[in-house]
Amino acid sequence: MLKDKHIVLGITGGIAAYKSVILLRLLKKAGADVQVVMTPSAKEFVTPVTFASLSGRPVVSEFFTANTGEWHSHVDLGIWADLMIVAPATASTIGKMANGIADNMLVTTYLSAKEPVMIAPAMDLDMMNHPSTERNIQTLENDGVIVVNPREGELASGLVGKGRMAEPEEIFKAVSDFFAVYNQLKGKRVLVTAGPTYENIDPVRFIGNYSSGKMGFELAAELEKRGAEVILIAGPVSISKKFGDKIKRIDVVSAVEMYEEAKKYFPEVDIAIFAAAVADYRPERHEEEKIKRENKEELSLRLVRNPDIAASLSKDKDGRLTVGFALETDNGIENAKRKLQSKNLDWVVLNSMRDKEAGFMKDTNKITMLSNLGEEISFPAKSKREVAKDIIDVIIGK
C-alpha cells in the first residue's frame, strides 16, 4: 500500500515515543522506506537501536557523526521524503516548528521539508490546552501541516483528559488516507475564486459583503494537497495563509478586477470553482474625492451591473468542469437549480444563510450539492476544511 513511499519519521521526547515503534512497524509492513530522525531527548525514552533495527536505516539525530565527521544533510532528507511525520510531537517541538527554531536535526529537517508534514501531538492536558500550544498548532495548520488530533484518555501524569497521542493504527490510517488522495489531481489546473469584492464609492467607502474567503481558501488548500496546481483569485480578505509552490494567489479588490484575472487564467485550467461572493452591482461613478455630507439630506447612488464571472466563463467552457456556489436565504434548492442552469455549471454548492452553521465568516458550512445531471447530495454541518474535501470528492467522482 505504501510501496516505494519515502517517509521521514520524527520522534520527539515524550512517553508516547514507545507507540512510534509500532507505527514504524506498520509503515514498514505496508512497504514504506522509513528514515527515523530523533531529537536528543527522544533518545531518553526509546533507544535509537530499536528504531534503527526496525527501519533498517541508522537513526539520524545529530548534524554530523562526531568520530567520522560525516555530515547528515537535512536538505537531502527533505528532497528524498514523500511525507514527514512527527509522532509524538511534544509541545516544545511544536513550538519550535511553528516559530522556526532550528536547534536540532528534526526541526532543521522540518524547515527544509519540500514534502507535506504531519504531526501527532502528545502532551499533558494542561499543556495541550495552553493558549500558546493552541496558537502554535493553529500556526502549523495555517502553514499546511496535517494534524492527527490527540485523544482524550489516561495520560502519563495520571491525569485524564486530551493529550494522548492518537494510536499508531490511527496515525497509520491518516498516512494511508493521505497517500490515497495525494497526487489524485496531479497534472490538473484549477481556478478558485474566493472572498468578497469591494466596489468603491469614493476613496474611503465601498459596497462589500461579509465573505471572509475561508471556504475558497480551504478549497485551494485541499486541491493543492491532492496535487493540483491552483490559481486562487482572492477578493479583499485578511487571510495571510502561506501556501506551497502549487498555489498562485492573485489578490484583487473589485468584481471587474476578479473577472479580468479569471478570464486570463480560465483557458489554462481543467476545473473552475467559483466560491467568491461577487458584488452584482457597482457604483456607476467612483468619486475621486471623499463625498462630503454638507447639507445633503439624501444621497443617491446609481449602480450598474457587474459581469457575472461564473456565467460568462462557463458559457464557452469547452469541456472544463465548472462549479458554482449559491448562497440563499429562501427557496434554496429552487434558486440553486436555476443558477446551475442559467450559469451553465456542472455542479452548484448550495449553502443557506438560514443554517446557523453555514455561510459567511463561519468556520463551518452545511451544503447540498446539485449537478446538471440531476444528482442531489446533502451533507451535515462540518468544518469548512471537511466541506472542501467533500466538494472535491464529489466533483471528481471519488
List 7, 24, 98, 327, residue binding ligand PMT (CB under 6 A)? 327
Cβ within 8 Å of residue 192, ≥6 positions away: 216, 219, 220, 223, 230, 231, 232, 233, 272, 273, 275
Q: According to CB under 6 A, which one of 274, 314, 322, 332 is a site residue for ligand PMT?
A: 274
- What are the cell numbers at 359? 455561510
Residue located via cell numbers 446538471: 372
Q: Which of 10, 208, 324, 332 binds ligand PMT (CB under 6 A)?
A: 324
Per DSSP, the three-state class of 16 is: coil
Q: How many CB atoms lie within 10 A of CB 186?
A: 11
Interface residues for ligand PMT in 183-202 (CB under 6 A)?
193, 195
Question: Within 10 A of 98 (CB to CB), how many other CB atoms are there?
Answer: 20
- 209 part of the active site: yes
Nearer to ligand PMT, 95 or 324 (CB): 324
Q: What are the cell numbers at 348?
A: 452548484
Residues 207-266 that bind ligand PMT (CB under 6 A): 211-215, 255
Q: Does 165 bind ligand PMT (CB under 6 A)?
A: no
In angstroms, give the least distance from the CB of 324 to ligand PMT.
3
CB of 145 to ligand PMT, least distance (A): 21
| Among the listed residues 124, 126, 268, the one whose alpha carbon sits nearest the alpha carbon of residue 191 | 268
- Measure the CA–CA gap between 368 and 331, rounded to whole angstroms: 13
Peptide bond into 196 cis (omega under 30): no
d(CA 273, CA 290) in angstroms, rounded, equals 36
Candidates 248, 360, 383, 393; binder of ligand PMT (CB under 6 A) is 360
By CB under 6 A, which span of 39-47, 76-84, 163-171, 276-284 interacts with ligand PMT? 276-284
**3-state SS assignment for residue 248:** strand
Instruction: Please report whether residue 281 would count as binding ligand PMT according to CB under 6 A.
Output: no
Report the residue from 147, 309, 340, 388 that binds ligand PMT according to the rule CB under 6 A. Answer: 309
Partnered with residue 194 across adjacent β-strands are 234
Using the rule CB under 6 A, is 359 a contact of ligand PMT?
yes
Positions in 166-185 near ligand PMT (CB under 6 A): none
**Site membership for ligand PMT, residue 107 (CB under 6 A):** no
Q: Which residues are catalytic, by number?
A: 209
- Contact residues: ligand PMT, CB under 6 A: 193, 195, 211-215, 255, 274-278, 280, 306, 308-310, 324-327, 339, 351, 359-361
